[in-house]
Amino acid sequence: GDRLLQQPQGPVMTGPGPDLVIREAVSADLGPVVQIERRSFADAWSVEALFGELQADAMRLPLVAEVQGEVAGYLMAWLVADQLHVLNIATDPDRLRRGVGTALLLEAARRARPRAQRRPRPLRARAQRREGGRAGRSARRPTRALPRPEGALTAPGISLRVNTVMPGAKGTRRSRGPS
C-alpha cells in the first residue's frame, strides 16, 4: 500500500514557461552552443563541427531555445527525404527537466513537416502515372507497416530518428550528468 503513495524519485519536469522562444540558430549562437555542448557531453563535438551545423540550408535545421534572452538549449538536425534526423540536441545543464528539449523536438518536427510534404515523388512513379500506370495495377506500391527502429518517433507526415553518433564518428555519445 505504501508504494502507491510514494512521490516520484528524481527531478520532475516542469514547463518551460512563457519566456521560452525557439528560433533558427545563427552563427552568433556558436559561443553558448559550444558551452552547453561541453557541459553536456564527455565527447563534445568540435567547434568546427558545431559551426558547420549552425549554417541553415535546405538540408540543415539548426534551432536554439532561449529563455529570457539566453540560449538554454539547441537542436541540430538534417531533413533527408521525409525523415528528420536529429544529430545533436542538448539543454543547458542548469535548465534540465524544464521542457526545453521537448520544445525543441516538437518545433523541429513542426518545421520539418511542410518540407517533407513538398518532396517530389520518385521519378519511376511519376513516369508510370504519365504512361497511365501498369495494366490493372496502381502506379504506387502498397505500403506496409515496418517495425519502428529503436530511437525513432513517427507522426503523420514525418518520421523522426534520433542519432546518437556524430556522422563519421565512432561510438555512442555519452552524456555528462543525469539523463
The C-alpha atoms of residue 83 and residue 40 are separated, in whole angstroms, by 26
Q: Please state whether beta strands 20-24 and 60-67 pair in parallel, antiparallel, or not at all (unpaired).
A: antiparallel
pLDDT digits (tens, 9 = 90+) for 99-116: 999 999 999 999 988 765
E-assigned strand segments in the chain: 20-24, 60-67, 70-80, 83-91, 152-155, 158-162
Tell whether the model's pLDDT for residue 1 goes beyond 90. no
The DSSP annotation for 102-125 comes to HHHHHHHHHHHHHHHHHPPPPHHH
55-64, 116-125, 146-155 — which one is most confidently predicted on average? 55-64
pLDDT at 84 (0 to 100): 92
Which residue type, as a one-letter code, is found at position 134? Answer: R
| pLDDT tops 50 at residue 141 | no
Distance, C-alpha 174 to centroid of its chain: 17
Number of alpha carbons in the 13 Å side-chain half-sphere of residue 171: 7
pLDDT of residue 125: 52
91 close to 103: Cβ distance less than 8 angstroms: no
Q: How many residues does the chain have?
A: 179
- Exposed, middle or buried by CB within 10 Å (0-12, 13-18, 19+), for 153? middle
Average pLDDT over residues 116-129: 52
Average pLDDT score over residue span 61-81: 95
Cα angle value 101/107/109 (rounded, 5°): 105
Of 5-19, 47-61, 99-113, 161-175, least confident by mean pLDDT is 161-175
The answer on pLDDT for 87 being more than 50 is yes
* Mean pLDDT, rounded, of the chain: 73
Bigger pLDDT: 31 or 162?
A: 31
Separation CA 123–CA 129 (nearest Å): 10
> Mean of the pLDDT values across residues 133-150?
44
Higher-scoring residue by pLDDT: 171, 84:
84
- Which backbone phi and psi does 83 adopt, to 5 degrees? -115, 140
